[in-house]
Amino acid sequence: MSFRLDQLPKKRYVVPGNAACAGCGMMIGWKILGMALGEEAVLTIPASCASVVQGLSPKSGIAMPILNVPFASAAAVATGIAEAFKTLGVKGHAVVWAGDGGTADIGFATLSGAAERNSNILYIMYDNEAYMNTGIQRSSSTPRAAWTTTTPMGKRERKKDVALLMAMHGAPYVATASIAYPQDFYRKLKRAAEVEGFKFIHLHTPCPPGWRFDPAKTVEVARLAVETGAWILWEYDNGKFKLNPPSTIYADKNKRKPLKEYLKLQGRFAHLTDNDIKNLEEEIDAKWQTILALAKTFS
């Protein structure tokens, strides 16, 4: 699909003067969501940074219809919206916009249920890799070794790969995306909107206060995650698993930038020794082996 920036909608789905922190990665993703699905999306949002941005009554920082729901219920509520659309004959997309805590931890039961039922919803997990809204507590999506307020010595456990878990549910469409590559995310949203059934997109969204970096570097950090291989762009579309550019070239380990370039920008990794970094690199390589094996098996 050809992609020209000047052909994207100019409407502001993110309304200026909202409560998001300066340099928030999630807001970049939200803009792209608005551009791709626009008036046809109805969002369901559990407790998260997102609910702060859209819920400062009486004003909302987002120009989209949104339902605010309790933490664990997002996927179930969206399923209800999708069923209502079907019954009433309304053309629309039931979309969940939830953080990693509301997805990988607290909302996982309803998420897994919706995937198993193949509910006609699009679930987008914006992953800032901790509970940022409440003060940077670790989630199951926080990467190993990262500092958070509840892992002061660095997290000991590995990051839960929610996108792979969703693909293993046999969902018709699952993809990963990054806010550094809006064109790729836009295309995936458009593709997901065409697919009937359960869709899941895992969006990597760096968080300046939580990851401890300069707000100007949000896009740079997100891009380095992909260029070092720490974040892999792929999609699983009706049984076919494939890598997406630019991650395709990083399948070759030698083409990846050293992981240190990604880690050194972030204060949450400041305590790491060279040996720690080597261990992380090995873990990333093991993840690549899994992804490449899947791409080969389901080509």
Partner 1 sequence: MIPLSKPAPASAGITGTWRTYKPVVSLDKCIDCGLCWLYCPESVIDWEKGHKVTIDYTYCKGCGICADVCPVKAINMIPEEA
Q: Which residues bind partner 1 (CB under 8 A)?
A: 5-6, 8, 10, 12-25, 27-28, 31, 53-64, 182, 208, 214-220
Q: How far is the CB of 48 from partner 1 (least distance, A)?
A: 15
The Cα–Cα gap between 72 and 63 comes to 24
The Cα–Cα gap between 260 and 154 comes to 16
DSSP 128: -
**Smaller CB separation from partner 1, 69 or 115:** 69
Residue with tokens 């941005």: 53
Q: Closest by alpha carbon to 198, among 95, 104, 85?
A: 95
Q: How far is the CB of 54 from partner 1 (least distance, A)?
A: 7
**Smaller CB separation from partner 1, 8 or 292:** 8
- 264: Cβ contacts below 8 Å, ≥ 6 apart: none
Q: How far is the CB of 167 from partner 1 (least distance, A)?
A: 29
- 204: Cβ contacts below 8 Å, ≥ 6 apart: 127, 176, 177, 178, 179, 222, 225, 231
Q: Give me the phi and psi of 132, to 5 degrees please.
A: -75, -35
**Smaller CB separation from partner 1, 116 or 214:** 214
Q: How far is the CB of 280 from partner 1 (least distance, A)?
A: 25
**Smaller CB separation from partner 1, 12 or 253:** 12
**Smaller CB separation from partner 1, 150 or 183:** 183
Residue 162 · residue 141 · CB < 8 Å? yes
Q: How far is the CB of 193 from partner 1 (least distance, A)?
A: 20
Measured in whole angstroms, how far is the alpha carbon of residue 27 from the centre of its chain? 12
- 257: Cβ contacts below 8 Å, ≥ 6 apart: 224, 227, 228
**Smaller CB separation from partner 1, 59 or 278:** 59
Q: How far is the CB of 5 from partner 1 (least distance, A)?
A: 4
DSSP 137: B
Beta bridge partners of 174: 200, 236
Q: How far is the CB of 11 from partner 1 (least distance, A)?
A: 10
**Smaller CB separation from partner 1, 33 or 174:** 33
Taking CA 245 as the corner, what is the angle to CA 276 and CA 218, rounded to the nearest 5 degrees? 55
